[in-house]
Chains A and B, each alone.
Chain A
């Protein structure tokens, strides 16, 4: 199992940020409860359990009931944060997410932990690279993929403040804190531009954003001006940011997800039905081999080199 270091060498495990934020929110709002399926440790909710033992519901290893109990708690006036491994809270309970949460349109926050290929060595049963494709089908379910600890905290706060169903995908992979302008804010549905550029746009989310920033620096040194957009919200998409990306004439998307139906697919739907420009979608092709997350990122070109290559090739296709 890939044990991501917490706060080591300037890198962060976003689950720590989730846990600290949910504890702080729960201090202020007695309606907040957590629901887990034997996933206290993997969700880093040990501190929450100590502080608010009566406000944590552990249903055991039972994902369908996990999600449905969240719907019931919302019916009883609570603001439930339902947290489990992303591969199971989505795939194993997909119909509960559909009927009990999205279709019923209830105030439940689903937290998909250890998403993507964080459990790389455990193989495709434990990889969660289909989750966004499945959940994108539910039009009213907000989908947020934060890129670093600050954005994870802001996403959790925004989810708590929003009255309706939200899914937040929380990685356990070590990521750096992104550099942002003073006064940066997070808003559901609003992308943030981390690097300005005019020749192409790299649109990434989650663990791929800082790799996109690194690729843009490489490209700048050779005279290619690549914009980097952090599209943390996959539903609803920031269509203004996509329109602006189209204006740069080339788009490369990068995500820790299958290339089928994730961030790239969502953006391609917009690009293809507005003003098509050359696009590349970087991600995993489908089931991938067993291997550490970092090995998989390198193997499938989800790193600085692979992203820079994709941008060069896509810029070359511009008319």
Chain B
């Protein structure tokens, strides 16, 4: 998609793909035929620039035909560079600017808490994104309200657009930060499906805290020349690189 569109964010797409696959094909309850079913589990893609991964998973989950992926970022396509709920079924809220997903997901979880509903709300943020203060406003509220129906997954690939997170505005110890805000924390290998399914599938009932899953990942996972390489935050492969990447991924 990124190769054909000539733009995108492949590095972050590949770090998030295993997490998205685990959620959509092993954890969440949803019906793509009724994308606004009130009882659905919600997923908020806070790292909205990683639509390459998000749209691929939504298509595979049945929200729209996989053939439509070819329209990615074309004029009038429903597959915008950042997700738009008004065009694309399965998108809960419009994202793109960072630090929006967790606060909105917190609101969804509060609605579920008020209604004593069974649905769960999941949100995926990047780790560099946690430098936005709005996340920590929401972290306070979610911890205070003991939103056990809320799960945050941090795609901890340790790279942001320009450099390593720890060389920019360091986040470590990230697990302790969430614990201090009243969250339950699990740290997993974000490319290990068994670990992801284990922590994400566990029933939240009775936990009494929102859950933060810190998923250690690699930007550009699966493609040797992109792996853990900051220059692939929004790089576009040339023809040779594309063909090599496809060989490595298959």
Contacts and interface: CB of A to CB of B under 8 A. Distances in A.
Interface of A: 33, 54-55, 57, 59-60, 62, 64-65, 68-78, 80, 95-96, 99-100, 103-106
Contact of B106 (A54, A65, A95, A105): A65
14 contacts: A33-B114, A60-B141, A62-B140, A68-B100, A68-B138, A69-B103, A69-B110, A73-B111, A76-B107, A76-B115, A77-B38, A99-B95, A99-B100, A104-B86
Contacts of A57: 107, 110
Given A72-B107, A72-B111, A96-B103, A105 B86 contact: yes
Given A65-B138, A72-B107, 5 more contacts: A68-B103, A72-B104, A72-B108, A103-B84, A106-B93
A71 B140 contact: no
A72 B94 CA distance: 11
B219 interface: no
Contacts of A80: 107
B152 interface: no
A55 B92 CA distance: 22
Contacts of A103: 84, 94
B113 to A, nearest CB: 9
A62 B141 contact: yes
A75 B140 contact: no
Contact of A100 (B42, B86, B94, B112): B94
Interface of B: 38, 42, 84-86, 92-97, 99-100, 103-112, 114-115, 117, 133-134, 137-138, 140-141, 144
Nearest to A98: B97
B112 A76 contact: yes
B246 to A, nearest CB: 34
Contacts of B144: 60
B86 A70 contact: no
B97 A104 contact: no
B104 to A, nearest CB: 5
B18 to A, nearest CB: 26
A64 B139 CA distance: 12
Contacts of A77: 38, 111, 115
A67 to B, nearest CB: 8
Nearest to B117: A76
A57 B140 CA distance: 13
Contacts of A96: 100, 103, 134
Contact of A72 (B95, B110, B133, B137): B110
Given A99-B96, A99-B97, A64 B137 contact: yes
Contacts of B85: 104-105
Scoring A73, A74, A75 by chain B CB atoms within 10 A of each residue's CB, the highest score goes to A75
Nearest to A62: B137
B55 to A, nearest CB: 18
Nearest to B141: A59
Contacts of B117: 76
Given A64-B137, A68-B138, A73 B94 contact: no
A55 B114 contact: yes
B96 A71 contact: no
Nearest to A59: B141
B147 to A, nearest CB: 11
